[in-house]
Structures are given as C-alpha cells and as structure tokens.
Amino acid sequence: MTRNTNAPAGAGALRQSTTGSVALDGALWLVQHGFPVFPCDHPMLRRCAGLHKTCDGSRGKHPAVAFTRAWTLDERKVHEAFARGLRNPAVAVGACSGPDGTQLVVIDSDRPGAIEDVASARGETWPATMRVRTAKGYHDYLWAPGTLKLGNGLGQLQGQFDGDVRAGNAYVIGPGARHASGVLYELEDAEQPPVIAPAWLLDALVTKPQFAARRTRWQDASPHVPGQPRSVRGLATFVLDSRPGDRNNRLFWAACRAAEDAQDGREDAQDALLAAAVQAGLSEREALATIRSAYNRTGATA
C-alpha cells in the first residue's frame, strides 16, 4: 500500500492531526469531499453517547443524533458537533449524492480480500475505489445509479460474501473513528474517489437470493472423500449439481481442486468442468473466466 504523505488530509494527515482531533479531521475531510457526516459514540467515553435507550455494548458505533435528518455537510456544524466531546464520525449513506444523481453504496468486507474473492469467483476484477480500513477489513465506497433500489440486502451475494452492503437508509463509521479494539478507521488513499460500481455487483445486489438464502455449504458437499483421489467425474458432477445461485462458486471451487490435481500430475479436469458448467447453464465465456481465475489463483495455467 502506498501512502501519499502529502495528501491534504486522510491517511497521513489523520495521524498528524491538524485540529488536534483525528475524529474531527476525519469528519472535516468527509464533508469537504461531499459526504454527509454525523457524530457517533466514541469507545473512550465512559458511557455510550448513542441515542438509544439500552446499549448493546458495541461501543463507538451508535449514532449520537437522529442521523437520517441530523447529518451535515457544513464544516462549521461539524466543528460544533465534534467540540462537544469525543465522537466518532460516521457517514449518512442515504443522504449522499454522487455525480449525475448517483447514490452511495458501501461494501463492508469483514476480512481483507472478501470482496475481491467474490469478484474473482465471477471472473471479474475488483476496481480501485475509495477505501477505508476498518478493524476487520475494509469499507469500499462506490457510486450506483440513483434509480436502483438498494438497501442493506446482499441479494445474490448472500452466502457468498463475508461482509455487508450499506446503501439507502444506512450509515457507516467513517475515517478518523476509533474502533473499540483501538484500531483507527483510516483512508487507504485520500486521493482515490469512489468509482462507479461494477455492473455485475449491482446485478447481484438487486437479484433475489434464490437458493443462496440458505447458506450453501458447498464445501461440505464436495465429492472428495478424504484419503481418496478426487476423480474428474466427481468434480464435474459437483458442478453439474449446481443450483443457479451457486453455479459460479461451485465451478470456482472445483476448478481450484482441478488445478491442484493438475499441478500434482493428475488428470486435468478443466475440459470436463467447462462442459459441466455449460450444461449447468453458465455461458462458455463466464465459465472459462471462472476456471481461468481459479487456475491463476493456484498458480497453474489454464
């Protein structure tokens, strides 16, 4: 990760605070870049500053104001709000409007690489976009068409993505905030604005999870019996048995195994997998991309 130490604010600047408060620096950076801000609880306060009656104990994350209407884009108001005591800055996602009437969607990965894995299982590459490092992973900020009905639903990604989606009437904790674990939420690159969300992501988010709703334990359902070599036919059958919601995931998993087997000098199953995937309803192009991505990942050549 390269850091621009000359960045006006953000990663480096949040460490060398200009206002004496990393939280205020973060909040100011957000409003200066068009992200509506509001204050949340701060984990170093003795009591939660959240508006709620009873606290569930997830300190540092509870809105201190009615955020759907009490957000601001005004620097003066930000100074006021953050002068009242320690507060974590947060972004009112639904109040945010991007270029050409777009809306904000934040992809909240619970581990580094979670959304990249989703992309690669679909034969896609995750784009570079505005990214905030969190305690567990990342918040990736993207613009989506304003006409799309997005919320916190994962759509087709349910059971496939280790994380959450925040859009519509939602909020995310912003850069400059302190997590209860002590970790500081930080911008990866203060110069990187949000990019337009990839079409495959939006398609997946607005598609109802069909079979994916019950978390597919496809790994457990693998045809491999420990101690016995996997057969080409077994891997192909595994792909053939896919339901529409998990075809790509199953193909990716099977292709990873096939690549490992091929590297170990066993029979290469990729042709059989391609045939099975097409028979299961994937397009040849999509199936090839998934197989290639699995082979690349294992260092084999497809």
Contact between 40 and Zn ion per CB under 5 A? no
DSSP 125-160: -PPP-EEEE-SSSEEEEEEE-TTS---S--GGGTTT
Q: Is 55 in the site for Zn ion (CB under 5 A)?
A: yes
The window from 54-62, 71-79, 185-193, 263-271 that contacts Zn ion (CB under 5 A) reads: 54-62
Q: Give the ranges where the chain is alpha helix by DSSP (H).
A: 11-15, 22-32, 67-70, 75-83, 114-121, 199-206, 232-240, 247-263, 270-279, 284-297
Instruction: Identify which range of 46-54, 86-94, 180-188, 193-201 contacts Zn ion by CB under 5 A.
Output: 46-54
Closest by Cα among 140, 114, 148, 146 to 194:
140
Backbone CA torsion sign across 219, 225, 227, 232: negative
Residue with Cβ nearer Zn ion (45 or 195): 45
Helix (H) or strand (E) holding 39: strand 37-40
Check binding of 50 to Zn ion (CB under 5 A).
yes
* 213 touches Zn ion (CB under 5 A): no
Relative to beta strand 186-187, strand 195-196 is unpaired
Q: Name the segment binding Zn ion (CB under 5 A); options: 49-57, 160-168, 229-237, 293-301.
A: 49-57
* Contact residue for Zn ion among 14, 22, 31, 48 (CB under 5 A): 48
Interaction pattern, residues 86-125, with Zn ion; x per rule: CB under 5 A: ----------------------------------------
One of 42, 62, 166, 247 touching Zn ion (CB under 5 A): 62
Residues of this chain that bind Zn ion (CB under 5 A): 48, 50, 55, 62
